[in-house]
């Protein structure tokens, strides 16, 4: 019986950038491109914004519950940002990649580092998005209209800390043209899906080829 070569193991696709560089917009476009690509809904202890829905944008939880999940190993990664905790629940991610579905992460460098060094690290694809300039980064933050002046100032101060970790990613893209950056992301993902590790049934296929070869003797 020939191996089913259509099956593959899912990827953990990590997108990181300083706030305002475009990673959330790009993440949304990737999901529209591939409906099978699931989004890792992070847990957080911060209060929801007016437009956010629990379970869709974030799993909003208390600090006590969050810390307990970290202690029991139920968070794949976690970080403390702007006075609040953020993390990625492990269970749904493991189930998705085992079923051959990719999971998309919109997280910072701390979370990316934790996931890359986790038990699932060999199945990660990490991509860092750089802004074309610091002036453009500020303009995008201000035009979003989501944060007050103090929050924008804090995000700008934090931006260089984020950018300084660009070297720890598999790929780095400068988002100076949204359409071109989206196209490059799709190319990277399609190629990485073909990595040997993401095709567990190749081993069975090679065994089948070996059997066929031996039958020729």
Long-range contacts of 133-139 (CB under 8 A, 24+ apart): 134/159, 137/18, 137/20, 137/21, 138/20
Could you tell me which of 156, 140, 142, 191 has the C-alpha nearest to residue 170? 191
Q: What CATH architecture does domain 12-40+100-215 belong to?
A: 3-Layer(aba) Sandwich (3.40)
pLDDT band at 5 (very low <50, low <70, confident <90, very high): very low
Q: How confident is the model at residue 139 (pLDDT cuts 50, 70, 90)?
A: confident
**Sequence-separated (6 or more) residues with CB below 8 Å from residue 175:** 17, 21, 22, 26, 129, 130, 131, 132, 181
pLDDT band at 1 (very low <50, low <70, confident <90, very high): very low
pLDDT value at 23 more than 80: yes
Pick from 18, 25, 12: nearest CA to 129: 18
């Amino acid at each position: 019986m020939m191996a089913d070569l259509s099956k593959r193991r899912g990827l953990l696709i990590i997108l990181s950038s300083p706030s305002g560089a475009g990673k959330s917009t790009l993440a949304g476009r990737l999901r529209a491109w591939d409906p099978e690509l699931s989004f890792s809904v992070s847990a957080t202890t911060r209060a929801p914004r007016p437009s956010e829905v629990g379970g869709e944008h974030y799993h909003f939880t208390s600090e006590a519950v969050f810390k307990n999940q970290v202690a029991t190993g139920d968070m794949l990664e976690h970080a403390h940002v702007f006075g609040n905790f953020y993390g990625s629940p492990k269970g749904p991610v493991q189930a998705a990649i085992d079923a051959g579905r990719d999971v998309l992460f919109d997280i910072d460098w701390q979370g990316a580092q934790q996931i890359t060094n986790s038990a699932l690290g060999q199945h990660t694809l990490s991509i860092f998005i750089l802004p074309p300039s610091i002036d453009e980064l500020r303009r995008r933050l201000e035009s979003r209209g989501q944060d007050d002046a103090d929050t924008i100032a804090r995000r700008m101060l934090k931006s260089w800390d984020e950018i300084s970790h660009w070297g720890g990613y598999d790929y780095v893209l400068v988002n100076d043209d949204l359409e071109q950056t989206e196209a490059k992301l799709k190319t990277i993902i399609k190629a990485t899906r073909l990595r040997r590790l993401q095709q567990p049934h190749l081993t069975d296929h090679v065994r089948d080829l070996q059997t066929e070869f031996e039958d020729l003797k």
